[in-house]
Structures are given as C-alpha cells and as structure tokens.
Chain A
C-alpha cells in the first residue's frame, strides 16, 4: 500500500493503475476530519481512558493489581486455556480445512456452512448452545458448568472458524504440479505433505492461530453462563474485569483490560508484518 504519491494527472498512474493516490481536496479533507473525530470519540478516547485509568495509580498500583493472587490466577488460567485451545485449533483446524478442500463426499457443502455457525451466533447464545447438551440436566450426563473443561470447550467452539478459514484458501491455491514434482522425485504422500504442502500452509496456520488466540484471551459472552466464576478455579480475565467493575474497582478493571488490549495490539501488528512478508515471497 505504500506507494509514491501520484497526482491525478501524473504519468505514473498508467503504470500502476491501482497504486495512484490522490492528495486531499477540501471536501475529502473535511470528510477525513469528521471521520477521525468520530473514530476518536468512539474508539481512541475510550481506549485511552482505559490506559489512563490503569496508569492513574502509578506502576506499583498497576503491578499490585495484576500480581494479586486471585487476579494472577485468573490471568494464568486465561493464558493456559487460550494456548491449549490454540494448539488444538492449529492441528484440528488444518485437518478440517484439508478435508473440506481435498476430500469429496455427500454433505461436504453442509459441513462447510457448519464451520461458520459458531462465528455467526451471538456469544451468549453460543454458551447456551453448549449448555443445552453439556450443561445441567445434560442428555449425555456430562455437566461442564463451572469446570475448566467447560471453558476449554466454549473457547474451542467460538474459535473454530479461524484456522479453517485462513488455511482453506491457501490450500485451494497450492499448485498441483508442486505435489507431482515431489512425487516424481520419490516423495511419499506423507513426505509430500510434510515437506511441500505444510510449509506453505504455515503462514496461514500462524495467522489463523493468532486470531484464535486473541479471541480466546478476550472471550466473554460464551463463558458467562458456563464458567462459574469461582476464584482460583474457573475465573478468566474478562470475567475478572466484570467483577472488578461490579465491585466499583475501576482501576483494577482497567489494569486487566490494558493487558488484554496489549495482546490485541500485538496480534494485529504481528499479523500485519506476517502478511507483508508472505506477500513479498509470493
């Protein structure tokens, strides 16, 4: 996206039809101004307020909140669960994408739609969906309420599409010739997968996993009904923020929130860098 500035009449634009950028006119300048004001009011100022509230008490207060045993336990549980879910998704998501692209069977299209359902459902409904089968008076006799398994399952549910949907298009675009070349060089089907196909999927798997990780870290709605919110046991970061807020401890809520914000920003920046690197290689 970073291109030379080409004025509307400049000769350079014929060479790079989609690269030419206009300079701001009065009208577009006003538009940009209004847009930025709204974006600041809606997003930037409130997020700054979070950082401000977390910083208000100074470093020691901030660190004190986060190292409080109960808060720390919640943070640790959140990270551990998110990592577990991410690892499982990286493997299973890739397998699901593989089956959806390479296999062929009746009902495959339906399966493709099923992948999107967890994404399309409101988070509170996602929680309820899982509870209907795995909750109290479960028909399969398996109650996940107030267990770490429950949190794991809920996170698995809401992050299902991430890896699948990032890997799928890449898998579709892999040239069949590369696989044929590997075969004629003597590579077995498994070796071809491991050494030729998988390496080209790695950027997509990484991207999907990071998105899933960010989502798992910050997940709230689907956990509200499932996690019993028991300190040290089933309390996760987002629910801890809610608890702080309900206890009128805004500084505490802000401290945890800043941590979650940080994860979000790191993931976004990392993905931006990753996608640029992949674009360079292609």
Chain B
C-alpha cells in the first residue's frame, strides 16, 4: 500500500512555523536579490542609462562585451574538452585497474574542487609565469607563454572544474561492475569495442551530467582566471572579469546585463541537469 505513514503525516504548529521560516529565509537570501538583478538589468537605476529589452541587447552587442563572452566560451570549451577526456580515462583507470598509488590518486583528483580559486591562480603563476615561475624561463626560451595568455586561462578553468566529470562517472562505473565487460571480452570484443558498446552506453548519462556541470562551472570561473589573465579590455577580459571591471567603473548597467546572461546560463544548466537526472533515475 503506497500511503504515507501516519507518523509522518501529522502536521502541528511547528510544521507550519518551519515551513514559513524556510520559505522566508530562501526568499530573503536568494529569490528577492535575484529578482532585483532582473529588475536592474531591464530598468537600470543609473541616471543616464536606458531601460528595456532593446537597451539590454545593445549593451551585449558592445564589441568589448562580445569579446569577453567569446573568450569565456573559448576557455570553457577547451577546459571541458580536456576534462572530459582526462576524466573518462582517469575514472576508468581508478575503478577498473589496480596500480600502486591508486587510493592516493583517487583522493587527489578531488582536491582541485576544494582549493580556493585564488590559490589555483597563484599556483599556476608560481609554476609557469615567465618572470618568476619554476618553469617560466624554460618555457619562455621555447617561445611558450602561459601566464597572461589564453593557455593559462584554459588551464585555470580546467583546474577548478577538473573533478566534476570524474565524480559523476566513478559511482556509476563502480555500480555497473565488470560482468558485462567480461562477457563482451569473452565473446571476442577487444578493449575499444567493449568500451564503446558496453561501458559508454551505461555511463552516458553520468558523463553528460558531468559535462554540463563542468561547462557551467567553466563559464562562471572568476578567481583563478583573474590572477592568470591580464584582465584588460580586449586583452584577456572574460565575461566574469568584465562584470567586476564594469561594476567598479560605474558602468553598472553593462555589469548587470552580462550578469543576467550568466544567470540565464546557470539556470539553463540547472534545468538541463534536472532533465538528465530523470532518465538515469528511472533505470
């Protein structure tokens, strides 16, 4: 019988108090400020700024803004691509193979998520900056500059979103086990065929989930990129850096317009993620 047990159905004054407390808390902390952003995007409070959807679009078409979003998308694309390939490989190795240091590696791959973005940026600078980095001079001598250029920003982005794909795939790989793969190889499939026809189909939703999460995280990365990027207009200014610069330079309306686009991207990612979760839950 699918009924909810009575012990959990009972509603007292406390139930209603908690409900209204939670609704109120989330409203004040998240919902109301968020609605205010929408408000300011289409009806800026600045004296000389125009309102409405047209003005919003116009702000986004400013060359410095399109440059910033273009750069953000470029960095995110490469970071996600690298993380997906690396994440798939490392997950398979961690779950399916035995090698010395496996346990340590499995803990270490989780580390980038907990490291402060500023520390990530600093770490990359200390390793690869041509002035003072460990490998800066040798890289400079072969003509490679990482810090202050796009490769450094891609690395910073890849660093912070590195574990997202791995975290999603590993539990699924552990759960499906090796039986089907063993069966496939006993039927004559070699490693690649067994991966493509057995393993990949069963992890595809987890993989998609991880990719969406990485993408969302990459599009929004700020701290690490701020430190490795020159951060000037048309020179390494990504969308998030643009928001900071414009807000500080009293061009709030452009900052809000760019922020609104990123809010939309985040909400879209949330929606996609919910839809990806569904088919997985069903199985």
Q: Do A and B come from one complex?
A: yes
A interface with B by C-beta (< 8 Å): 1-2, 5, 8, 13, 17-18, 20-25, 27-28, 31-32, 34-36, 38-39, 42-50, 52-53, 92, 95-96, 98-100, 102-103, 105, 111, 113-118, 120-125, 128-130, 132-134, 137, 139, 153, 156-157, 160, 176, 179-180, 183, 189, 211, 214-215, 217-221, 224-225, 237-238, 241-242, 245, 250, 253-254, 257, 260-261, 264-265, 267-269, 272
Taking CB atoms, residues of chain A closer than 8 Å to B134 are: 45, 49, 52
Within the complex, the shortest CB–CB distance from A114 to chain B, in Å, comes to 5
Complex Cα distance, B265 from A8, in Å, reads: 45
Complex Cα distance, B191 from A264, in Å, reads: 37
B15 close to A103 (CB less than 8 A)? yes
Residue B200 is within 8 A (CB to CB) of chain A in the complex: no
Complex Cα distance, B39 from A260, in Å, reads: 37
B112 close to A43 (CB less than 8 A)? yes
Complex Cα distance, B213 from A116, in Å, reads: 12
Which residue, A114, A137, A139, has most C-beta atoms of chain B within 10 A?
A114
Q: Given known contacts A50-B126, A242-B118, is B185 in contact with A157 (CB within 8 Å)? A: no
- The closest CB in chain A to the CB of B109 belongs to A39
B259 close to A128 (CB less than 8 A)? yes
Extra contacts besides A21-B97, A114-B26, A122-B262 (20): CB < 8 Å:
A1-B103, A21-B98, A22-B96, A24-B98, A28-B97, A31-B93, A32-B93, A38-B86, A42-B155, A47-B123, A117-B267, A122-B220, A132-B39, A218-B115, A241-B122, A245-B227, A250-B122, A257-B122, A268-B110, A269-B107
Within 8 A of A (CB), among B107-127: 107-112, 114-120, 122-127
Taking CB atoms, residues of chain B closer than 8 Å to A224 are: 222, 244
- The 7 A-B residue pairs with the shortest CB-CB distance, nearest first, are A122-B220, A218-B116, A46-B123, A18-B177, A49-B126, A264-B114, A120-B266
Residue B175 is within 8 A (CB to CB) of chain A in the complex: yes
Taking CB atoms, residues of chain A closer than 8 Å to B127 are: 45-46, 48-49
Q: Given known contacts A8-B182, A224-B244, A264-B111, is B119 in contact with A218 (CB within 8 Å)? A: yes
B90 close to A35 (CB less than 8 A)? yes
Residue B199 is within 8 A (CB to CB) of chain A in the complex: no
A120 close to B36 (CB less than 8 A)? no
Complex Cα distance, B39 from A43, in Å, reads: 41
Taking CB atoms, residues of chain A closer than 8 Å to B22 are: 95-96, 99-100, 111
Interface 9-mer from B2-10, B48-56, B60-68, B201-209: B2-10
- The closest CB in chain A to the CB of B9 belongs to A104
Residue B178 is within 8 A (CB to CB) of chain A in the complex: yes
Complex Cα distance, B82 from A39, in Å, reads: 11
Complex Cα distance, B40 from A139, in Å, reads: 11
Taking CB atoms, residues of chain B closer than 8 Å to A21 are: 96-98
Residue B168 is within 8 A (CB to CB) of chain A in the complex: no
Within the complex, the shortest CB–CB distance from B87 to chain A, in Å, comes to 10
B128 close to A117 (CB less than 8 A)? no
Within 8 A of A (CB), among B1-37: 5, 7-8, 10, 12, 15, 18-19, 21-23, 25-26, 29-34, 36-37
Complex Cα distance, B53 from A274, in Å, reads: 51
A17 close to B177 (CB less than 8 A)? yes
A46 close to B128 (CB less than 8 A)? yes
A99 close to B34 (CB less than 8 A)? no
Q: Given known contacts A103-B18, A115-B26, A121-B263, is B119 in contact with A257 (CB within 8 Å)? A: yes
A257 close to B37 (CB less than 8 A)? no
Within the complex, the shortest CB–CB distance from A215 to chain B, in Å, comes to 8
Q: Given known contacts A24-B97, A157-B30, is B126 in contact with A132 (CB within 8 Å)? A: no
- The closest CB in chain A to the CB of B117 belongs to A220
Within 8 A of A (CB), among B234-275: 240, 243-244, 247-248, 255-256, 259, 262-263, 266-267, 269-270, 274
B32 close to A125 (CB less than 8 A)? no
Taking CB atoms, residues of chain A closer than 8 Å to B29 are: 153, 156-157, 160
Within the complex, the shortest CB–CB distance from A40 to chain B, in Å, comes to 10
Within the complex, the shortest CB–CB distance from B269 to chain A, in Å, comes to 6
From B36, B86, B240, give the contact of A133 (CB < 8 A): B36
